[in-house]
Amino acid sequence: MATPVRRALLSVSDKSDLVPFAKGLREMGVHLLSTGGTYAKLSEAGLEVTEVSEHTGFPEMMDGRVKTLHPTIHGGILARRDLDTHVKAMEDHSIGPIDLVVVNLYPFEATVAKEGVTWTEAVEQIDIGGPSMVRSAAKNHVAVGIVTDPCDYENVLQEMKANAGALSDPLRYKLALKAFALTTNYDANIFRWLRENCEHSEASAFPEHFSISGKRVSELRYGENPHQSAAFYTTADTGEASVGTAEVLNGKALSYNNLVDIDAALALAKEFAEPFVCVIKHTNPCGAAIGETMLEAMEAAWSGDPVSAFGSVLAMTRPLNMKIAKFLVDGKRFVEAIIAPSFDADAFELLTTGPKWGKNVRLLACGEFGPSGRVQADVEVKKIIGGFLLQDRDLEAEQAGDMKVVTEAQPDQAQLDELAFAQTIAKHVKSNAIVLTGNRTVYGVGAGQMSRVDSVRMAVLKAGDRAKGSVMASDAFFPFPDGVEVGMEGGVVAVVEPGGSMRDDQVIEVCNQAKVPMVFTGIRHFRH
């Protein structure tokens, strides 16, 4: 049977439920050791507690940087009770065993998330003694309990009461795993922040070792398909609006596919400072538009492909107002989720009480955002079997002034602006990507086809009559003239593509013969 807990060391930054937990330990005769603010909190509550400096015979120093880094502490935690040599070392050096360690760490992540935090303030929140005690206790979990989360306090007390003051092997093992997960995440957040903020770092360089760590927000009903298990984790807050930091205001639990689509929708919306709405289906925009008002943008975006818009996800750059809510509810339009900076009170009420809406539609408020709020230092990670890939985020967005006219026909300013809009949308479409637009509205999208000409055919088909007079954007160069020819046959009047094909001259000649202006951007936007 496990040894009862006789001495516990408590040193916590998060003091939630600390006093009731400590009282429960004292009622079972546990001797309490503590430090700093934790000691003060327990003493004020009238609990009998010994300060660590008294226990070690060595004072705190260096503004608290050195207090628990002492053999009396770590020897008491790390000693193996089943080895005579360890027991004798404890006796020879008057080291008392510590059977329970209750530690949570300095709030480094919360500190660096504050606006205007200084380098010194951030560095002082890098905990040293805390992780050392956590790791020591977790390593010796066969004899020592390590509690890093106030949510575990009640479970620990209940088990001690049921087992004559002892903790079971399964619980100590579970707590140890949780402890190592905590220190892993903590160190990963510190590494990430230092790399992104140190003046000596090369932000574009990829380090020899890279760690990514997250906190589980929820277990999902299933993954992409019902036979796959899944969970949602959030990483450190970069200060950028995201699905991970958005507040879920209403609706059924978010699914794996919901989260992927919402992320894609928000990424596209972040490209625009204007009133903008996008309609996302299976991570691709089936509709998107800029409007003078948000209602205009909403109506135009929905017109892109009303059939595909059924069961879609929406993102918008302004708060969702009553006019948009009426457009959706009164029009009996069904969407899975909406993410917006916020929701007007009357619009929120209508969306959450309207027929077939109510508690079903997921509504997420992410706060204000825009192109300037994106964090370049945040990398993209793609998992593959046996490893993962890192890359810089694709935050390039070609404006009209960045485009090079390569045809005899010259686009006017209105066409250049429209081409820039179409190219920005194409950047968020799965390759091979073709987008037809007009009046800052998506008319047709061809996505994910194995040949570019088939993507053009699909985009023209989706656009229907609106293909006539539209502009066409391609995420990569046209390898042959056929793609441009199919677009022009459908009514395309201007084309934007990166250029760079060995047959660029043939593609340009086709446009020259048709007197259709073409511009090159020099930047490819593949999205696999």
Residues known to be catalytic: 139, 282
* Helices (H) then strands (E): counts for the chain: 18, 21
Lookup: tokens for 446? 């061809």
The angle subtended at Cα 12 by Cα 141 and Cα 87, nearest 5°, is: 35
Query: What is the distance between the alpha carbons of residues 327 and 141, in angstroms, rounded to a whole number?
Result: 59
386, exposed or middle or buried, with CB in 10 Å at 0-12, 13-18, 19+?
exposed
Lookup: tokens for 483? 């793609």
Reference 7, options 172, 154, 143; nearest CA is 143
Report yes or no: 104 and 13 within 8 Å, Cβ to Cβ: yes
Q: What are phi and psi of 434, to 5 degrees?
A: -130, 135
Report yes or no: 309 and 333 within 8 Å, Cβ to Cβ: yes
Pairing of strands 31-34, 380-384: unpaired
What is the residue type of 236?
Answer: A
Query: What is the distance between the alpha carbons of residues 354 and 417, in angstroms, rounded to a whole number?
Result: 39
- Number of neighbouring beta carbons within 10 Å of residue 247: 10
Q: In angstroms, what is the C-alpha Rg of the chain?
A: 30
Report yes or no: 518 and 403 within 8 Å, Cβ to Cβ: no
Q: What are phi and psi of 316, to 5 degrees?
A: -145, 155
- Number of neighbouring beta carbons within 10 Å of residue 414: 12
417, exposed or middle or buried, with CB in 10 Å at 0-12, 13-18, 19+?
middle
